[in-house]
Amino acid sequence: MVISKIMTSIQSSIQSLGNSIRPESLEAAANAIANCKSVNFFGMGASSSVALDAQHKFFRFGMPVIAHTDFINQRMMCSMLDKDDVGVFISYTGRTDAMIVNAEIARERGATVIGITSQGSLLSGQCDFVLNAITAEDTDLFTPMTSRIIHLAVIDMLATSVALKMGSNIEDNIKSIKKNLAA
């Protein structure tokens, strides 16, 4: 019963995500990242693990990338961003005050602000591009895995889109990493 219920929830959420992500928003977000000087991922609570996963994927692209999971560090970093930087804010509910304020600071500093959140959330109002990531879960009661799975799927979509834009440079980086890890 539990296995079936969890798997059905995940499958339903992934299907919903495929229908809710706008290709033009994904394309614009990928362009911004492919052309930035640095990309910063911001996540708190359950979204912090997604930000760390994004850091792990994007550092291979040869650009400065870091995940910020502490709101004070986030605030300091947002205060230093500029028009050549990208901030990706990850929040399932899009209503965490610190995330909203930090996104506003990043936007005011001229950074491109991308939200992996629900369209129409308070956080989305501070974003240049929103990658609409919603499920039918009630995160007020507990922190379910399905919301993280769809956020990880969005990170994979974004990373793949950026990799395609950056071309063979990424392939060379990955080959070098694999060669040096094999030793």
Q: Which of 2-16, 31-45, 169-183 has the highest average model confidence (pLDDT)?
A: 31-45
> 138-177 pLDDT, tens per residue?
555 455 678 889 999 999 999 999 999 998 878 888 888 8
> 74-100 pLDDT, tens per residue?
999 999 999 999 999 999 889 999 999
Question: 115 pairs with which residues across the strands?
Answer: 89, 130
Rounded (5°) CA angle 153-157-158: 115
The pLDDT of residue 8: 86
> 103-142 pLDDT, tens per residue?
999 999 999 999 999 999 999 999 999 999 876 655 554 5
Q: Which of 164, 160, 142 is nearest to 152 (CA)?
A: 160
Residue type for 155, please? Answer: I
- The predicted model scores a pTM of 0.91
Residues 103, 123 contacting (CB under 8 angstroms) = yes
Q: What share of the chain is helix, strand, coil (3-state, %, to 5)?
A: 60, 15, 25
State how far the Cα of 53 lies from the Cα of 165, in Å rounded to an integer: 20
Q: Which of 26, 111, 156, 127 is nearest to 148 (CA)?
A: 156
Residues 114, 144 contacting (CB under 8 angstroms) = no
The pLDDT of residue 172: 81
Pairing of strands 112-117, 65-68: unpaired
Residue 81 host element (H or E): none
The pLDDT of residue 178: 84
Place of tokens 């994004």: 54
Q: Which two tokens stand for residue 174?
A: 């990955």
